[in-house]
Amino acid sequence: MGSGIGLRGEAGNWKLEAGNWKDDGKFAPPLLTAVVSLSGEGGRGGEVLNYLLLGLLFVAILAIAWLWLRGQRVGEQFRRAMRERAEATEARIELQRQIQRERGQLAALGAADFDALLLVDADRRIVWGNQGAWELFDRREPVVGQPFIALVGDAELSQTVLEVIAGGRPVVRQVAVGGRTLRMRVVAIQETGGAAVSIEDVTELQRLGRARRDLVANISHELRTPLANIALAAQTLRNGGADTAIHRRMLDQIEGQVQALSQLSQEMMDLAQIESGQVMLKLVPVEVEPLVRRSLTALLPLAAAKGQHVSVIVPAGLVALADEQQVARVIGNLAHNAIKFSPEGGIISVYAEAAGDDVRIGVTDTGPGIPLAEQARVFERFYKADRARSKGGTGLGLAIARHIVEGHGGRIWVESAPGQGAKFCFTLPRA
């Protein structure tokens, strides 16, 4: 089927038609039909006039048909343009949907990761970052568009990103920044010329690793000394003959070392149970003054043997919400350390006072003191600040005390300076 015009004669008449051709050669249906009658009436002049009118009509129909065919082509071009425009619009909408999905996936990935994640362009400007990145560097709002070094504040980290962008090879680097240890991994993005950056704060991991190494070393040391003493005592007994005094002294030494090992084992077990939450604290109103005095009863002979003076200053009627047995253990531990580290004739003071909604209990001594740099670590297991304050013991007492106090919702700390003694304080909720 096509389009065009036709002229055919029927019974002395001429018929002009314009429209679409059918397979049988006819228009279906004709869009335009003109019939001219040529009867021959009027002589030759009339016949000429009829042919002239027929020619004019034919030209008019040709013009109309041409305009119609052109309109058809223009319409088809318009429809094709509209289809292409609709397809382009649909493709643009789908592209926008895909971009939104990818942005949502990227945002979800950033929210699911605790580490800092960043994307930078070829000029090392930040084009995207997750919440972990802003929190790691104490930024309240995103800093997209700013230079990478403006965020991290470290030239070595910025230089690492530059090396990866230039070389294209992934790099992992660990850098100390502002008292923290940061581990950074940078991967080049070939399509954009920039890089993807992941930054992890491994300060706590390093501290835990150091604590683990110290734990192993301290356990080995704490076990080596009593075991060596037991072995020496056993050898002396074997070679000592029948001297009962020597035997008795060696047996006493063995018994003392076994007790030290038993104490170490028990305190390690106690600490593990407290840390794991297996020890349930029974918090009840407890009067502080009699609690402090009961906690010191067993320690007074040790202080008397060294000629030390122990004072107790606690106001009557002061009541704390506490587990009496566990708090007595904390006070006894702190007082025992004060007696042990204070010289002969020293002064140990135990006091308690109301402090807002808390009860503050403190133990002071006149020992060698603790350097400021060591004070944050004295509550770690097995940690001993220096040799002057390492006179026996398991090194677990302060770690146990810290967990007990924190289990009460309180806090424990030390105030000290070298040569000026130490003051250990902790708080309990006030009843």
Report the CATH number that the domain containing residue 172 is assigned in CATH. Answer: 3.30.450.20
Separation between Cα atoms, residue 77 and residue 223, nearest integer Å: 95
Structure confidence at residue 387 as a pLDDT band (50, 70, 90): very low
Which domain-ending residue is among 252, 275, 298?
Answer: 275
Q: In the numeric block, which tokens belong to residue 233?
A: 């005592």
* Whether residue 290 sits in one domain with residue 243: no
- The top-scoring range by mean pLDDT among 162-171, 246-255, 382-391 is 162-171
CB proximity list for 23: less than 8 A, separation 6 or greater? 1
214: Cα within 13 Å, side-chain hemisphere = 16
The answer as to whether 343 is a domain residue is yes
Range of the domain at 120: 113-201
Q: Does residue 254 lie in a domain region? A: yes
Boundary (domain end) residue, out of 172, 201, 230: 201
**Are both 364 and 388 inside the same structural domain?**
yes
- What total number of domains does the chain contain? 4
Check whether residue 249 and residue 298 sit in a common domain. Answer: no
**What per-residue string of b and e applies to 159-194 under the rule 16 or more CB within 10 Å gives b?**
ebbebbbeeeeeeeeebebeeebbbbbbebbeeeeb
Are 342 and 398 in the same domain?
yes
Amino acid in position 316: A
Q: Across the chain, which distance is largest between two alpha carbons, in Å?
A: 174
For the chain, report the end-to-end CA distance as a whole number of angstroms: 102
| Of the candidate ranges 116-120, 193-197, 205-209, the one whose mean pLDDT is the lowest | 205-209
Picking from 29, 27, 28, 35, the residue whose alpha carbon sits closest to that of residue 5 is: 27
Query: Is 15 within the bounds of a domain?
Result: yes
294 in the same domain as 251: no
Strand 309-313 relative to strand 347-355, pairing = parallel
According to DSSP, the residues that pair with 13 across neighbouring strands are 10, 37
- Regarding whether 123 and 243 lie in a shared domain, the answer is no
Looking at the structure, tell me whether residues 15 and 51 fall in a common domain. yes
**Chain segment 54-108, per-residue pLDDT in tens:** 777 778 888 887 888 888 888 888 888 888 888 888 888 888 888 788 777 777 7
Strand partners, 311: 349
405 domain residue, yes or no: yes
The share of the chain scoring above pLDDT 70, in percent, equals 79
Domain assignment of residue 93, yes or no? no
Confidence of residue 388 (pLDDT cuts 50, 70, 90): very low
Spatial separation of the C-alpha atoms in residues 58 and 206, rounded to whole Å: 100
Q: Are 424 and 340 contained in the same domain?
A: yes
What residue type is assigned to position 363 of the chain? V
Helix axes 203-239, 244-275, angle to 10 degrees: 160
Q: Is residue 353 part of a domain?
A: yes
Residue 399, Cβ neighbours under 10 Å: how many?
A: 22
E runs forming strands in 13-79? 13-21, 27-37
Shared-domain flag, residues 306 and 337: yes
Last residue of a domain, one of 39, 71, 88: 88
CATH code, domain carrying 323: 3.30.565.10
Query: Looking at the structure, do residues 69 and 179 belong to the same domain, yes or no?
Result: no
227 and 153 both lie in a single domain: no
* 299-321 exposure pattern, b = at least 16 Cβ within 10 A, e = fewer: beeebeeeebebeeebeeebebb
What's the predicted TM-score (pTM) here? 0.50
Cβ-Cβ contacts under 8 Å for 421 (sequence gap 6 or more): 342, 364, 365, 366, 367, 368, 369
Residue 103 lies in a domain: no
Is the CA virtual torsion 124, 130, 134, 135 positive or negative?
negative
pLDDT digits (tens, 9 = 90+) for 218-254: 666 667 777 777 777 777 777 765 567 777 777 777 7
Does residue 214 share a domain with residue 182?
Answer: no
- Residue 334 forms part of a structural domain: yes
Quick one: pLDDT at residue 276?
66
